[in-house]
């Protein structure tokens, strides 16, 4: 592309092409950071993204993927590490043992701006993009994947659905309180007899005057009991009709809406998973999100973005397991030398590191496409599928490297191993991701 065209675009945007939006910020003050305080600086990065999009429109063959973290991401990562060392790491084993959902922790994450990472600043959020969002999930998941899962479900599903399809009144009412986690979000699509086959859901909503009456049940819902606000998909038309489902906002405390049984899970035990039950639940028509009949289509688009967050969750697990394995292999001695010196171990680490790196590239490609407002169905499915399988593979090898100690709860890798399996199931199984990928590439 001629340099004068780039210069013209820069001049029109009145922007120097600088990505580092934190230049001059005292790094030693990072303990006082929260994302909302940084969002003003991020406005410059948003302008840079606008510049990049303008360049790509002139020449779409140019792909401008940056392979290094920007300063926003580095600062967010450090903030989470500092916070997690005090607020997560000392308690994660107890939470896991008791299957305890630490709701107060998420209130603190809300204060940091992490429960509204993608929500625009005008609605009280941090106003960041998907690169920063992915970084936040990865870092939280390295500390405790359960925390990363709950944070991601709140942001991508509940907040994401309202942000993408809600009315201006709904956004103003719900997003500010969701962004601070004054209200915790839930999202109800899955049902006991319709896991991957969500088009055949049995939860129904019938219109009575200006109200809708919802009856049915959802299961495997993150924050199904503790959630203050739930986006719920219910059937309003014929079974099997993709235009026969509608999305509703249902608040906790609404008559006829209650949380059901909590699941006793293999992993992700500090993230609440439960039923939501609706018995003649009466809500006003103003709680409909978008058009009646568009709930299923909305949900599929929400899941496109949500799969990037689950990919990031898997990435955090894989990175955490890899880092623990590298450290342990250097410290553990057998036959008078560190086990990292044995080819059987070092080759495992080489494979693990390569898988982790490849997974990261797929995820940030999908995040980059999402930032640019492009379709992410294929890239999101590829990232989610690959990252999930890598999380399982790497955490499995980590347990092997730790040997007998890896089979105990005194070391973190057994938890990574248990937690990783959810990534291949939640928000679309690996098999569903393959179906999506095949469908997209065969069009």
CA distances from 253 to 226, 404, 417, 421 (A): 11, 48, 37, 33
307 close to 428: Cβ distance less than 8 angstroms: yes
440 in catalytic set: no
Among residues 87, 275, 397, 427, the one annotated as catalytic is 427
- Cβ-Cβ contacts under 8 Å for 55 (sequence gap 6 or more): 1, 6, 9, 62, 64
| Residues labelled as active-site residues | 427
């Amino acid at each position: 592309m001629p340099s004068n065209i780039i210069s013209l675009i820069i001049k029109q945007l009145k922007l120097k092409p600088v990505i580092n939006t934190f230049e001059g910020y005292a790094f030693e003050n990072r303990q006082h950071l929260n994302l909302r305080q940084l969002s003003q600086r991020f406005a410059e990065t948003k302008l840079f993204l606008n510049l990049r999009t303008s360049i790509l429109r002139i020449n779409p063959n140019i792909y401008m993927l940056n392979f290094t973290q920007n300063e926003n991401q580095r600062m967010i990562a450090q903030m989470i590490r500092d916070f997690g060392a005090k607020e997560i790491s000392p308690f994660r084993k107890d939470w896991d043992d008791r299957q305890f959902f630490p709701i107060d922790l998420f209130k603190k994450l809300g204060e940091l701006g992490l429960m509204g990472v993608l929500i625009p600043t005008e609605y009280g959020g941090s106003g960041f993009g998907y690169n920063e969002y992915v970084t936040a999930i990865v870092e939280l998941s390295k500390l405790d994947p359960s925390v990363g899962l709950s944070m991601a479900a709140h942001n991508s599903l509940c907040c994401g659905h309202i942000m993408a399809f809600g009315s201006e009144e709904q956004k103003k009412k719900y997003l500010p309180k969701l962004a601070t986690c004054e209200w915790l979000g839930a999202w109800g699509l899955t049902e006991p007899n319709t896991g991957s086959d969500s088009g055949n859901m049995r939860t129904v909503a019938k219109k009575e005057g200006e109200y809708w009456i919802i009856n049915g049940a959802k299961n495997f819902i993150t924050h199904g009991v503790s959630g203050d606000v739930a986006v719920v998909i219910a059937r309003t038309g014929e079974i099997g009709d993709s235009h026969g489902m509608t999305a509703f906002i249902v608040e906790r405390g609404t008559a006829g809406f209650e949380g059901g049984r909590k699941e006793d899970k293999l992993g992700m035990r500090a993230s609440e998973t439960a039923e939501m039950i609706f018995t003649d639940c009466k809500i006003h028509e103003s709680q409909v999100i978008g058009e009646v009949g568009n709930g299923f289509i909305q949900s599929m688009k929400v899941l496109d973005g949500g799969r990037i967050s689950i990919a990031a969750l898997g990435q955090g697990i894989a990175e955490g397991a890899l880092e623990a394995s590298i450290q342990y292999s250097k410290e553990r001695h057998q036959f008078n030398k560190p086990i990292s010196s044995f080819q059987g171990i070092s080759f495992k680490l080489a494979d693990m590191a390569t898988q982790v790196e490849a997974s990261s590239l797929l995820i940030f490609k999908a995040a980059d496409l999402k930032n640019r407002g492009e379709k992410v169905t294929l890239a999101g499915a590829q990232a989610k599928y690959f990252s999930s399988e890598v999380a399982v593979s790497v955490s499995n090898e980590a347990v092997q490297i730790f040997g007998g100690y890896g089979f105990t709860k005194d070391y973190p890798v057994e938890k990574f191993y248990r937690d990783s399996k959810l990534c291949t199931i939640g928000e679309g199984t690996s098999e569903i991701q393959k179906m999506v990928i095949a469908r997209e590439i065969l069009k």
